[in-house]
Amino acid sequence: MDVLWGTGASLTVREVSAQLTERDLAHTTVMTVLDRLAKKGFARRERDGRAWRYRPSATREAYVTELMLTALEQTGDRSAALARFAKSVSGAEASALRGALDEIEGGGGG
């Protein structure tokens, strides 16, 4: 997927393999992976003669944003799919926590 993100254009399986030189993967392995990415909707593919050309459906940043929005509970969805360590807090609570943090750090030099 990083290879697809790295180039702007759409790539064939052979071109992706060529860029994965350090990992010495079989052609069919790369094909399978790309096929799976396409099935999951992460990559789009189109016919180019006898080969498929693959390109990412969205940028890496877009996916990171999606991941983080869910993680930060800002999608308005309370499905409890995740368990977050911390909740977002109001301004008043943030200052209360700042006081607590000073106390915690003051108590022994952190």
Partner 1 sequence: MTGPADAALLAAVAIGSVRGSAALGAARWPRRSPGAAILLWQALGLAGGLAAVGALIEIGVPPDATSVANGVTRVASAAASGRLFAAGQPALPVFLRLVSLVMGLALLARLCSVLIASSALVIRARRRQRALLALLARGDPKAPGALVVDHPAAAAYCLPGLRSRIVVSVGALDLLRPAELAAVLAHERAHLRERHDLVVLPFTALRRAFGWSRICANAHQSVALLIEMLADDRALRARPARALAGALARFGTAGCIGNAPAGALAVSGAPYEGEMAARVTRIMTPAPPLAYAVRLSILCAATVIVVVPVAVLLLPN
Catalogue the long-range contacts made by 69-74 (C-beta closer than 8 Å, 24 or more residues apart): none
Name the helix (H) or strand (E) containing 60. helix 60-71
Find the shortest distance in angstroms from Cβ 78 to partner 1.
6
Find the shortest distance in angstroms from Cβ 29 to partner 1.
16
Sign of the dihedral defined by the CA atoms of residues 62, 63, 65, 70, in that order: positive
Q: Which is nearer to partner 1, 21 or 90 (CB)?
A: 90
Sign of the dihedral defined by the CA atoms of residues 27, 33, 36, 38, in that order: negative
Q: Which is nearer to partner 1, 46 or 103 (CB)?
A: 103
- Enumerate binding residues for partner 1 (CB under 8 A): 1, 40, 42, 60, 63-64, 66-68, 70-74, 76-94, 96-98, 100-101, 103-105, 107-108, 110
Q: Which is nearer to partner 1, 21 or 85 (CB)?
A: 85
